[in-house]
Amino acid sequence: MDHRIRKRMQRLLRELDVRIPAPFTAEEFCRNLASAREREIHLVPWDTTRASVPCGLWISTEQADYVIYEQAAAAILREHIILHELGHLLLGHAGAVDLQGVLGTFDILDTSVVERVLGRTSSYDAREEREAEILASVIGEHPARYASEAQGQLSADAAAVVDRFGAALAADRRWR
């Protein structure tokens, strides 16, 4: 099942008219995606441990999209959280997080303008969560797969190992 989802995510990534930067950074990919969509995407570091919210959120408004991520996460995990939330955005997933429960503690945005909220969880039973997780992995592997190792890039195998570590750490919030 995951193999079919992975193939579908690889096809989606090829069909996107978005430049994937090499060397890869989630921030640069986000800027490229925002430019291609002609819609702002704001990356917002936040202490998600103080509230009962996931370590990542995608919030959509009429004007822009917001990706909220755990500010204290290790760089590799922070990148994966951002890519996971962008995966929800790219796949057009519907929100499933309690809006008031999450945004009641979120003072950056007026809750009345929010159209959609989706949060990253450690429960990958839900189809949308698995799809977003796999798309995040595929995006993260992409530059490693096509860049030269002589330039200091990871091989596809090494990127897959790093991704598995990141996914394992995402399920355990005690990594800090």
Q: Rounded to an integer, what distance in angstroms lies between the CA atom of residue 150 and that of residue 44?
A: 34
| Number of domains the chain is built from | 1
pTM of the model: 0.71
pLDDT at 27 over 90: yes
Task: Average the pLDDT over 5-32 and give the result.
Answer: 88
pLDDT at 3 over 90: no
Identify whether the C-beta of residue 54 lies closer than 8 Å to the C-beta of residue 80. Answer: no
Range of the domain at 51: 2-175
**How sure is the predictor about 163, in pLDDT bands with cuts at 50, 70 and 90?**
low
Residues 121-147: tens digit of each pLDDT: 555 448 888 898 999 999 988 765 554
- CA dihedral 134→139→141→144, nearest 10 degrees, is 180
pLDDT value at residue 158: 74
Average model confidence (pLDDT) across the chain: 75
End-to-end CA distance of the chain: 33
Residue 127 carries which DSSP code? H
Residues 42-85: tens digit of each pLDDT: 999 988 776 666 778 888 888 889 898 988 889 989 999 999 99
Sheet of 64-70: strands edge to edge?
40-46, 64-70, 56-61, 114-120
| pLDDT over 70, % of the chain | 62
CA-nearest of 67, 59, 56, 50 to 169 is 56
Higher-scoring residue by pLDDT: 158, 137: 137
The rounded radius of gyration (Å) of the Cα atoms in the chain is 16
